[in-house]
Structure 1
Amino acid sequence: MTTEDPDTPDGGPATPTDRQGDAVSRFAVPEMDCPSCASKVESSVETLPGVEAIDPQVTTGTLTVRYDGSATAETEIVERIRSAGYAVEDRAETLRLSVPDMDCASCAGKVESALSTVDGLESYETQPTTGTVVLTRDGSHPTDESIVDAIESAGYDVTETSETGATDAGTDDDLWTSPRALKTWASGVVLAVGLGLEFLVPGANAQVGTVLGSALHVADLLFLVAVAVGGQAILHNGYYSARNLNLDIDLLMSIAILGALTASLAFGEALYFEAATLAVLFSIAELLERYSMDRARDSLEELMDLSPDEATVRRDGEEVVVPVDTVDVGERVVVRPGDKIPLDGDVIDGESAVNQAPITGESVPVDKTVGDEVYAGTINEGGYLEIQVTSTAGENTLSRIVEMVEDAQSNKTEREQFVERFSAYYTPVVVAFAVLVTVASPVVLGTTLSTAVVYGLTLLVLACPCAFVISTPVSVVSGITSAAKNGVLIKGGNHLEAMGAVDVVAFDKTGTLTKGELTVTDVIPLNGNSEGEVLQCARGLEARSEHPIGEAIVAEAGDGGEREVAAFESITGKGVRAELGGVPHFAGKPGLFEELGFDLSHVHATTDGGLVTKTAQQLCERNNCLDLLDETVPELQAEGKTVVLVGTEDELEGVIAVADEVRPEARAAVARLKSMGIGKTVMLTGDNERTAGAIAEQVGVDDYAAELLPDEKVAHVEELDAASDGGVAMVGDGINDAPALATATVGVAMGAAGTDTALETADVALLSDDLSKLPYLYDLSGRANGVIRQNVWASLGVKAALALAVPFGYVPIWLAVLAGDAGMTTAVTGNAMRLSNVEAEALDTEP
């Protein structure tokens, strides 16, 4: 773990040790907001012995110092910063603790009660679905030890302290052979033997004495042993619940067990069997509940395990294997075929296909070469790569995704908030009902007092709302982690719930429905020229142009056949002029050539010597290659393409059409959304009306709005939202469309992997540029809402039905244990885990 130095009075941050043994500290100096300020601070600090490097970051008001910890203390650095006239601000630290036994709402309540007594904690949040406690403290106070002591005083062990929030679910073998499990198995055997003596071999069940006038048989002794062995953990946890005034299942079960034993002595009618049954069955149910919760946590653990623990780094000309958390930004990492990429970085040598499915969900490996970005946790499929690290282990894309998935639990859904409010009243009401049934049953129903006590104890078992409370968060975690493994990052349960209810989806055009990059789509040679000749002529004209259209033409033409270019001139808003081989040539809009004297409606075209596009070929066949431009240019423009003519002052050589291509999966994604129940799809774009109409027709959206400024996009989203029943999802690039994304019910960012802004600002981020993830997201959200409804009403309905049936003798105490509490918790967890099997479907990408 990285923590602040407890001796630092000013909240100085972590002082980790780098590979040479030097210490590195970071300080918040908010008043250091200009280069001269940074210079003063740097001059003051560098006078200390052992200081090796100082990095003042004016934009963030942060000072990073690398120094020899044996020569200089962090407190001395703080003093030197102050002596330069700048204050060091106390910095809150976020701490994550793994508490695997905290696997239900009542457990979380006890931990929260214990933490409320710790001074200095700014905030704390319990996450029972991941067994994690997230705390914020002021500097280094309170200490780790005091926080851990508080949690352990509530009866829970802290197995790991870190800033990564790693959970420690343990293996199945660990669970089933744990001390709790072994005691449960032992108590179960003793209970079974007691039952055999009680009912199968009554002759061997001799009386061995009396207790307060009540006969005590061998079976009763065995039942008491079962209580002592199997109920030990229950009574232990119940003690901590009582000490923290938490009316949870552990306390209620403890009261039920002790109540049964007390009633046995008080009424002379043995309830030892009931007490033993409670202890054994509840312990078994707890193990099953823990098993189910571990399975839920495993889905998040799989994300954490994607990144390797070690990296092969090239240092001083040699390759050394080191822990990933010791690799600095800028170092070279070597990744061989089949290895996982340990850290985010840029390829500086080699080429390979990288399987990015663990991060982006892309099913096909992506080719990587020098200059391309790669992500930690992805897999090098083929070639050798050398990567220059761009982010440390705790700051890479994978780490941010894992952290955001964990933190998503804090954004509670409306159902979750309802459940929490309801549960606050549920337990006291059922406990009061238990007391009423115990007192009133002998009078109203004519039951014996011992039977009435059993009824009351059974209701106490049903009084804890564990299954009811856990039903929503476990579904949310299962859904969010399933989405993350499919390349979709959902920033909270509220967004998961909202996405499943939207009935309008609005799309940005550029970079969302289209690829966001101009490419040549049509080349039509004229007057005996070939396609290649037209492209090479255009390349010579556009090579010096910085316009995106020119760049697209140059990229399509490639190398070779270059002509000597002279007298280059850009004709603003119309095109370019240059001399190729001494002959003046032009490339530009049709209007430019009309100004040169061309009558485009009477230009004869030929396709001899060059391959033409499907569109041009069809037109040629229809018009016998006459007056091709008269129809071709308008039709290309109607398709949303930009037309560039190429030629001399006397002769047209060809036509080139350039467009931002529609994503191959866009039309199928829109159609799939409609088939799944989306009522309306809309495209919102700043592009011109003609292009917008063409793209809208190609992808099949119901409506579109063009030539929109950012604030006009916001207004359109607001109008759509006002007219919809379930809200609007806006899909964009996460940066340019930020206002519209923020206004929508759910903002969905495209291609967010490695993009800090998109990851931080979007409600949902599609980590790859793949629109097929959108129908998957909608499907998953709809299923999650269904599972949440099933879990909430099933857990509440079963509890209510059992509670109402108890006074009539229909619910034995063992059924209350298995069905009413931990059994239902296991059931709702298992139901939630079905979401982990929802996978993105491949969509048809045919145009």
Structure 2
Amino acid sequence: MEKVNWKVEGMTCTNCALTVNKYLESKGMQNVKVNFIGGDVSFEVPENIATKDIAKGINGLGYHVAQEHDDDEPKRKKFLSTHIQRFWFCFVFTAPLMLHMIPGVHIHVLMNPYVQLGLTIPVFLVGMDFFGRSAIKSVWKGIPNMNVLIALGAVAAFGYSLYGTIIGRAEDFLFYETTATIITLVFLGNWMEDRSVETTQAALQKLATTQKSMANMIAYDDQHQEHIFPVESTSLKVGDLLLIKSGEQVPMDCKILWGEVQVNEAIVSGESTPVFKQMKDHLIGGSIIESGTVKTYVTAVGEDTVLSGILKMVREAQTEKPPVQQLADKISAIFVPTVVSIALITLLANYFLADQTFSTSLLRSIAVLVISCPCAMGLATPAAIAVGLGRAARNGILFKNAKSLEIFKSIRQVVFDKTGTLTTGHFNITRFAVTAAELNEENFQRIVYSLEKYSNHPIANAIARNWKTKDEIRWASIEEVKGLGMKATDKEGNHYIAGSFKTATAFTNDGSHNVYIIRNNQLLGWIDVADEIRPEAKAVISTLHARGIRTILLSGDQKDKCEKVGKELGINTIIAEQTPAQKLEKIAAFNSDGPTAMVGDGINDAPALAKATVGISLSDATQVAMQSAQVVLMNHGLKNLPMALGLGKHTYITIKENLFWAFAYNIVAIPVAALGYLNPTFGALVMGLSDVVLAINSIRLNFKKVV
């Protein structure tokens, strides 16, 4: 199936997202994910269904699918196309109507019902053009949104006032100012809500803006003379040559051909300390050259760049719904019909049971409609998740789904792989020995390089880097066996193995070496390498212990080496010499004891990462490991593990706070309005402010201490 990712404009609440979601599912779309914050919509399209028809259907719901070419040509926005424009237009007519509400102010002409009608009509028409259209479309699609409540309240107040004016008893029916102030103040509230929601997206917007910049392209004429000219980064293609100077932004992912630089990669790692880069090193698009000049060629553009991958991952995570949001979604889906019922009961109860006048009863029922806010419940979870994911991305922590954020609150134990996770993975050959008499050192190194160059393991990479030769063996077949090593057959039919002690137990009792080389059941030699413990590892382990989290070292490496690393770091439990299958069994057992996080980086770790409650991979890991993990720590980011755990915990706390205030607001506000203690005007203002309060509470996540 084709995967589609769209930006849909005009969604303002959870019910909007539910409307789009329900429409897409009704059309046969699968794996539908809709996030009204940011407008991200993704789904899979079955064959023989045209996406343009789906886009047309979404536009018919009152939303707008932003096409790719929309960004290329600036759109001329219609007058009164934004909430702030609508507010100021309506305010001009509403302000005079509100004057007589001020004690001691009595302007005779404003008491004329026809003057009030004339001032109200422009406001009413603008309000119905927005709220009315949206309300009708949402009801038609079976998921009434918040605008139904606003439209009902405004229509009731306006219709009642117009009826009084027509029958000549305007003084008993005059609610024109209520109509105008409801519409005007809700437009103001919507604008404040939009601005507040935008701030929750600030971190992602900052990442997105770095994707467009200018670049210095290098070209050569017929005489091979070099020419440099500026181009927009969006026009670059893979293979283009670029000159990047000190102080400039790297326009796209590149590889250095010439020069040395210090690079600030804070945009993807959260670490502002410059990183040294030289020939053959990669530069990440969006990073900044702090000093030096390089010539490079472009290795990835558009959606294939590291930064685009980060943005895509975070946006997809935002469309995920964690379990805590499910209750709010269920209530939001039935909220509007429930409030309409309560408003009707309020009208009837006040008029027939409380012996209030019809005007007072109607005013109270309108207040119930206006004060109610389904948006607050819908905003509670996505606003907190948007801020949490944004802060995480800014600090080099990528969550593939929002569920991981919530699960982190309950993690009780963290399992670590050793090589490349707790250690740097940058090995050096310390010693080696050739045990086969017929083999010299040069031929031994040639065999080892020819085998290890095909492996993704850090030890193999180090050996291949040190013993690189052009005279390598051409294999008939070669494969990497998880947990053991490399197996190959040459064109003469000789069988070779480069692996751990497990592959050599039949030939030697000495299990103290890292790699054993075997040919046709004969031990050719062994190799020892040394690895360093990551400088931040001890502090990370200490932080976890301070939080009461148990630490476990689970590795396929030899027992003595694992124990040496584990004891130096103070890890609680050390389990060594495990195959991938055994790692999987151990993780399953740990999961049964309690929620478990697994941190790894190698191909051997992929099954265990997938099995753990939360799999965490380092960004320099193999692609298999990164795909298996739910969380990726960028730029060797083991130091960010405590922040990842803290952000998960505090994001969940913020979600609970938001949901509490959203439910409490509606539980308190609706009865207060029904009993006549809140008028519709004040209710319209407070309704807008309720969303702002939740957004501000979510934004606190950007500044809270989470480590």
Counterpart of 1:823 (choices 672, 689, 698) is: 689
Where 1:394 maps in the other structure, the secondary structure is helix
Counterpart of 2:59 (choices 152, 165, 168) is: 152
- 2:4 aligns with 94
**2:39 matches 1:131:** yes
The aligned amino acid for 1:680 is R
Instruction: After TM superposition, list the pairs within 5 Å mapping 1:80-119 onto structure 2.
Output: 92=2, 94-99=4-9, 101-112=10-21
The aligned amino acid for 1:185 is W
Looking at CA atoms only, which structure, 1 or 2, has the larger radius of gyration? 1
Counterpart of 1:252 (choices 149, 166, 179) is: 149
Kept after mapping to 2: 8 A contact 1:227/1:280: no
- 1:204 aligns with 107
Kept after mapping to 1: 8 A contact 2:270/2:394: yes
Where 1:708 maps in the other structure, the secondary structure is coil
Kept after mapping to 2: 8 A contact 1:505/1:681: yes
CA distance in 1, matches of 2:309, 2:655: 27
Distance 1:801 1:175, change over 3 A: farther
- 2:317 aligns with 408
Q: 1:217 deviation in Å? A: 6.2
Instruction: After TM superposition, list the pairs within 5 Å mapping 1:43-82 onto structure 2.
Output: none
**2:536 matches 1:665:** yes
The aligned amino acid for 2:34 is T
Kept after mapping to 2: 8 A contact 1:505/1:678: no
Deviations 1:26-55 (Å, cap 9, x if unpaired)? Answer: xxxxxxxxxxxxxxxxxxxxxxxxxxxxxx
- 2:614 aligns with 746
**2:267 matches 1:358:** yes
Kept after mapping to 1: 8 A contact 2:388/2:651: yes
- Higher helix fraction (1 or 2): 2
Where 1:388 maps in the other structure, the secondary structure is strand
The aligned amino acid for 1:788 is I
- 2:478 aligns with none
Distance 1:304 1:167, change over 3 A: farther
Q: Which runs of 5+ in 1 are unaligned?
A: 1-90, 210-215, 523-538, 557-636, 643-655, 842-847
Q: 1:323 deviation in Å? A: 3.9
Distance 1:840 1:248, change over 3 A: closer
- 1:182 aligns with 85
Deviations 1:88-117 (Å, cap 9, x if unpaired)? Answer: xxx635242341x32322333444566578
The aligned amino acid for 1:827 is V
Where 1:103 maps in the other structure, the secondary structure is coil
**2:608 matches 1:704:** no
- 2:555 aligns with 685
Deviations 1:259-298 (Å, cap 9, x if unpaired)? Answer: 1122334574322222122111111101101111222233
Where 1:351 maps in the other structure, the secondary structure is strand
Where 2:280 maps in the other structure, the secondary structure is coil
Where 2:582 maps in the other structure, the secondary structure is helix
CA distance in 2, matches of 1:265, 1:358: 58
The aligned amino acid for 2:636 is D
**2:461 matches 1:461:** no
Q: 1:365 deviation in Å? A: 1.5
Instruction: After TM superposition, list the pairs within 5 Å mapping 1:311-710 onto structure 2.
Output: 311-316=215-220, 317-519=226-428, 546=448, 659-675=530-546, 677-710=547-580
Counterpart of 1:731 (choices 599, 606, 625) is: 599
Kept after mapping to 2: 8 A contact 1:685/1:707: yes
- 2:455 aligns with none
Q: 1:162 deviation in Å? A: 3.0
Distance 1:669 1:301, change over 3 A: same
- 1:619 aligns with none
- 2:196 aligns with 292
Where 2:426 maps in the other structure, the secondary structure is strand
Kept after mapping to 2: 8 A contact 1:98/1:161: no
The aligned amino acid for 2:287 is T
How many residue pairs were aligned?
A: 623
Distance 1:260 1:111, change over 3 A: same
Where 2:568 maps in the other structure, the secondary structure is helix
Kept after mapping to 2: 8 A contact 1:734/1:750: no
The two structures have a TM-score, normalised by structure 2, of 0.79
Distance 1:299 1:177, change over 3 A: farther
Deviations 1:409-465 (Å, cap 9, x if unpaired)? Answer: 232101112221232233333322222221122233222222222222222234441
Q: 1:669 deviation in Å? A: 0.6
**2:707 matches 1:836:** no
Q: 1:785 deviation in Å? A: 0.7
CA distance in 1, matches of 2:625, 2:11: 33
CA distance in 2, matches of 1:233, 1:549: 64
Deviations 1:346-383 (Å, cap 9, x if unpaired)? Answer: 22211111111211233321111112122211122212
Deviations 1:797-845 (Å, cap 9, x if unpaired)? Answer: 111111122232222223432334x32222212221222345897xxxx
Instruction: After TM superposition, list the pairs within 5 Å mapping 1:303-314 onto structure 2.
Output: 303-314=207-218
**2:88 matches 1:191:** no
CA distance in 1, matches of 2:390, 2:213: 21
CA distance in 1, matches of 2:459, 2:48: 57
The aligned amino acid for 1:161 is Q
Identify which of structures 1 and 2 has the higher relative contact order when contacts are C-alpha pairs closer than 8 Å and 6+ apart.
Answer: 2
**2:631 matches 1:775:** no
The aligned amino acid for 1:150 is G
Kept after mapping to 2: 8 A contact 1:503/1:728: yes
CA distance in 2, matches of 1:207, 1:356: 63
The aligned amino acid for 1:264 is S
Kept after mapping to 2: 8 A contact 1:175/1:181: no
Q: 1:324 deviation in Å? A: 3.5
Counterpart of 2:183 (choices 255, 263, 279) is: 279
CA distance in 1, matches of 2:79, 2:554: 56
CA distance in 1, matches of 2:559, 2:607: 22
Kept after mapping to 2: 8 A contact 1:98/1:166: no
Q: 1:554 deviation in Å? A: 13
Q: 1:480 deviation in Å? A: 1.0
- 1:808 aligns with 675
Distance 1:734 1:657, change over 3 A: closer
Kept after mapping to 2: 8 A contact 1:686/1:708: yes
**2:134 matches 1:237:** yes
CA distance in 2, matches of 1:550, 1:180: 60
Kept after mapping to 1: 8 A contact 2:15/2:332: no
CA distance in 2, matches of 1:839, 1:438: 48
The aligned amino acid for 2:67 is T
- 2:518 aligns with none
Kept after mapping to 2: 8 A contact 1:313/1:322: yes
Deviations 1:206-247 (Å, cap 9, x if unpaired)? Answer: 4876xxxxxx26456534554445564323433433443431
RMSD (CA atoms): 3.8
Distance 1:813 1:367, change over 3 A: same
Distance 1:332 1:761, change over 3 A: farther
Kept after mapping to 1: 8 A contact 2:34/2:319: no
- 1:302 aligns with 206
Kept after mapping to 1: 8 A contact 2:238/2:301: yes
